Homo-oligomer: A and B are copies of this chain.
Amino acid sequence: MPSPTAKPNAKLKILDAALSVIRAKGYSATTVDELCATAGVTKGAFFHHFKSKDELGVAAAEHWSETTGAKFAAAPYHDHADPLDRLLAYVAFRKALLQGGVPEFTCLIGTLVQETYETVPTIREACDRSISGHAETLEADIEAAMRGRGLSSEWTAKSLALHIQAVLQGAFILAKAKGGAEIAADSIDHLTRYLEQLFRPAKS
């Protein structure tokens, strides 16, 4: 809001460093010094832009929401005409994102909230906004798919959108435990199977 006049280069570099370092080492184990070293700035710059480490945590969650939000908004899965096809293409897109090392494809928000949900309320709230906001981008398509197939159900579009996020977060945890993306991909396949069965119930 305070006008993006000059190029706040250091701030952006710190935020970008936070995304990668926190995902690899966790929030508590990430030190301000290391963040500064990775970003190539000094501590003075850090505390000029962020009042505290916790405030950086909130800003990092918001920065994550913005960058990934833009990434998903520009993704090709929106091109399908049918809402169910869009939803399935979204999940396939998430699966296709499982590339590179584990710290590169896992989610900052899941890592962040695990460590801070009890101790830093502001970060917990930022993580909630991030997950819920992202899930909401799926709700319209889910509702349209439900209407299109005349599904009146015990579950809501919102709960399904959040369930999809839960499966993804859980898949990341398994990938971290096993040190590879394979089981995460398997889990996403199960999710896809669930969605297809939900919306295309009878065999033929």
Number of copies: 2
A166 to B190 alpha-carbon distance, docked (Å) = 11
Q: Which residues of chain B are near A122, meaning CB under 8 Å?
A: none
- CB <8 Å contact, B115 and A177: no
Closest to A26 in B: B115
Q: Which residues of chain B are near A115, meaning CB under 8 Å?
A: 25-26, 28-29, 111, 114-115
Interface of chain A, main secondary structure: helix
With both chains docked as a complex, state the minimum distance between the C-beta of A136 and any C-beta of chain B, in angstroms. 14
A183 to B177 alpha-carbon distance, docked (Å) = 24
A179 at the interface (CB under 8 A from B): yes
A48 to B201 alpha-carbon distance, docked (Å) = 60
- With A103-B118, A115-B26 already in contact, the answer to whether A183 and B162 are too (CB < 8 A) is yes
- CB <8 Å contact, B173 and A110: yes
Interface positions of A from 25 to 62, Cβ below 8 Å from B? 25-29
A167 to B170 alpha-carbon distance, docked (Å) = 6
- With A117-B102, A171-B166, A197-B198 already in contact, the answer to whether A190 and B155 are too (CB < 8 A) is yes
Q: Which residues of chain B are near A187, meaning CB under 8 Å?
A: 159, 162-163, 166
A94 at the interface (CB under 8 A from B): no
Interface stretch, picked from A2-10, A73-81, A123-131, A139-147, is: A123-131
Closest to A185 in B: B159
CB contact between A29 and one of B28, B113, B127 (< 8 Å): that residue: B28
